[in-house]
Amino acid sequence: MDQTAKLDLPYIMPSQAQKHVTHNEALRLLDGLVQLSVIDRDLPDPPTAPAEGDRYLVSPGGSGAWMGWDGAVAHHADGVWQKLTPQPGWRAWVEDEGKLIAFDGSSWQVVGGIPASGAQIQNAALLGIGTAADAANPFSARVNKALWTALYTAEGGNGDLFHTMNKENAAGDVGILMQSGFVTKALMGLFGSDNWRLSVSSDGSVFHDAIRAEAGSGRIALPSNPKFVAHLNYDQYVAADSWTKVAVNSADYNDQGVFDAGTNRFTAPAAGLYGFGAAIGWKQNGANVPSAAKAKLVRNGSLDLTAPLVMPSLSVIATDGSETVLHLQAMALLATGDTVELRQLFGSFDGYVPQTVTRFWGWWVA
C-alpha cells in the first residue's frame, strides 16, 4: 500500500530516493485537508486569480480545471489546482456563508441548519423551524407566514396541490385546532366520526358545533342556530273581538330551548335578525261565523311586531278547523331576551283556534 486509507497521504517507501518529495506531498495534502475551510461553494469555474492555499467546493457543472470535480474540494497549491475527493464525515467551514457543512457520502449538508437544496430528509424524529420540536409536537414551526405551492408542470409536477390528513379509523380524530394564546378556540375536522364539524369555544373547554356536514348525504346542519317549530294540541276558545295569545303548547323541534311551551313564547338567546312564521286556523263555535279572522306577532307582550294580517270573510272556510285561514311571515331585529308570541282575534263572534292547523315557528337569520 502506497497511501493511507482515509486521506490518501503518500507513504515514504523503503530505499526511496528523494524522500523529501513524498514528505512534502503529504504535508501539502494535510495543509489542504486539516481544519478544512472553503471560501465558496457556489462556483463551477475556477477564480481567475487564486491565492496560494485557497480552497473551494466545486458546485455542479464544474468546468475548466474543475471539470468533473463536482462536490470535491479544489485546493490551490504550488500554482495548480489539486482535487481532494471528500469522504463521508468530512466537515468544512464555508467562509462566505458562515456555515458548517458535512459530507454525507453523496452531498454536503449544513450541520445544525437548513439542508441544502435537493437534500433528502428521511424518517427524521424531530423537526423544528424557528423553535424546538418535542415528542408531543415532533414538527414545530415558529414563523409569521407559511406557503405551500404546487409543483408546476414545467418543473416536473402537475400544477395541483393537495394537503392530506389521515386518521386510522372513523372513531378517531383528524382536524385543525386554532388557538389564541395556546388556548383552543376553534376545531375543524372529523372528530369521533367521519362527519365534518366546525366547533368554537370561548374558554377552550366547552365547545359548540357551528356547522356539521353528514358524510353519507352531504346535508348541512347549523346546530347552534336557535330555531323551533311548535303547535297547538287542543282547540283553544277565543272570545269575540279580543286579541288572545294563541296557547301554542307543544314543541315539535326546539333547538337551544328557545321556545317555552308553558308561556307559549319564543325568547331570543342573543341579539340578531330572526325570522318567524305561523299558520292560523278557525273552527266554528255553534252557528257563529265571525266577520273576520286576524293574526299578528307581538314582542315583549305589548309591542306589535307585525301589523295584523286579516281574513275578511270566513264564509268560504271549512267550519271544522281543517283549513288554514292565514299564513303569517315576518323578520325582526331582536335584542337578547326579547320575546315573541302569536295572537289571534275573531271579529263579532267567538270561535276556536283549531289544533289541526295551528303552527308557530322561528329561526335565527344573522
pLDDT tens sequence across 10-65: 656 666 656 655 555 655 666 557 778 999 999 999 999 999 889 999 999 999 99
Is the pLDDT at 365 greater than 90? The verdict is yes
Arithmetic mean of pLDDT over the chain: 91
What pLDDT score was predicted for residue 315?
87
CATH no. for residue 231? 2.60.120.40
User: Which parts of the chain fold into alpha helices (H)?
Assistant: 19-33
99 sits in which H/E element: strand 99-103
Q: Which residue has the cell 408542470?
A: 153
158 belongs to a structural domain: no
Q: Are residues 232 and 319 in the same domain?
A: yes
Average pLDDT over residues 189-194: 97
364 sits in which H/E element: strand 359-364
14 belongs to a structural domain: no
Q: Which of 76-85, 189-198, 277-286, 335-344 has the lowest mean pLDDT?
A: 76-85
What pLDDT score was predicted for residue 21?
54
Is the pLDDT at 5 greater than 60? The verdict is no
Is the pLDDT at 236 greater than 80? The verdict is yes
Is the pLDDT at 92 greater than 70? The verdict is yes
307 belongs to a structural domain: yes
* Cα–Cα distance, 67 to 44 (Å, whole number): 9
Q: Are residues 330 and 349 in the same domain?
A: yes
Pull the grid cell for residue 136: 408531543
Q: Are residues 202 and 240 in the same domain?
A: no
* Cα–Cα distance, 297 to 329 (Å, whole number): 9
End residue of a domain, out of 89, 110, 131:
110
Q: Are residues 249 and 182 in the same domain?
A: no
3 belongs to a structural domain: no
Query: 239 is in which domain, residue-wise?
Result: 227-364
* Cα–Cα distance, 313 to 292 (Å, whole number): 5
What is Dmax (Cα atoms) for the chain?
Answer: 142
Q: Are residues 238 and 215 in the same domain?
A: no
Across the strands, what pairs with 273? 333
Residues 63 and 43: beta-carbon distance below 8 Å: no
What pLDDT score was predicted for residue 1?
53
Q: Are residues 357 and 240 in the same domain?
A: yes
Q: Which of 332, 316, 336, 335 is nearest to 324 (CA)?
A: 316
Q: Is 223 exposed, middle or buried (0-12, 13-18, 19+ CB in 10 A)?
A: middle
The percent of residues in the chain predicted with pLDDT above 90, rounded, is 80
End residue of a domain, out of 221, 237, 257:
221
118 belongs to a structural domain: no
CA distances to 38, 148, 166, 192, 204 from 176, in Å = 45, 16, 12, 14, 14
Q: Which of 58, 81, 82 is nearest to 10 (CA)?
A: 82
* Cα–Cα distance, 278 to 263 (Å, whole number): 17
Q: Quick one: CA torsion of 137, 140, 146, 152, rounded to 10 degrees?
A: -80
Q: Which residue has the higher pLDDT, 123 or 242?
A: 242
153 belongs to a structural domain: no
Q: Is 32 helix (H, G, I), strand (E, B) or coil?
A: helix
246 belongs to a structural domain: yes
End residue of a domain, out of 93, 110, 127:
110
Is the pLDDT at 196 greater than 80? The verdict is yes
Q: Are residues 185 and 260 in the same domain?
A: no
Amino acid identity at 2: D
Tell me the whole-structure pTM to 2 decimals: 0.61
Q: Are residues 231 and 357 in the same domain?
A: yes
User: What is the DSSP-derived secondary structure letter of residue 167?
Assistant: -
Q: Are residues 232 and 332 in the same domain?
A: yes
Residues 328 and 277: beta-carbon distance below 8 Å: yes
Q: Are residues 214 and 242 in the same domain?
A: no
Q: Are residues 90 and 216 in the same domain?
A: no
What pLDDT score was predicted for residue 8?
58
What pLDDT score was predicted for residue 110?
87
Pull the grid cell for residue 169: 379509523
Average pLDDT over residues 323-338: 95
Residues 120 and 105: beta-carbon distance below 8 Å: no
The percent of residues in the chain predicted with pLDDT above 70, rounded, is 89
First-residue to last-residue Cα distance in the chain: 87
What pLDDT score was predicted for residue 25?
63
Tell me the per-residue pLDDT of 262-294, one tens digit each, with 9 for 90 and over: 999 999 999 999 999 999 999 999 999 999 999
Tell me the per-residue pLDDT of 141-164, one tens digit each, with 9 for 90 and over: 999 999 999 999 999 999 999 999
Q: Are residues 215 and 231 in the same domain?
A: no
Q: What's the total number of domains in the chain?
A: 3
Residues 194 and 217: beta-carbon distance below 8 Å: no
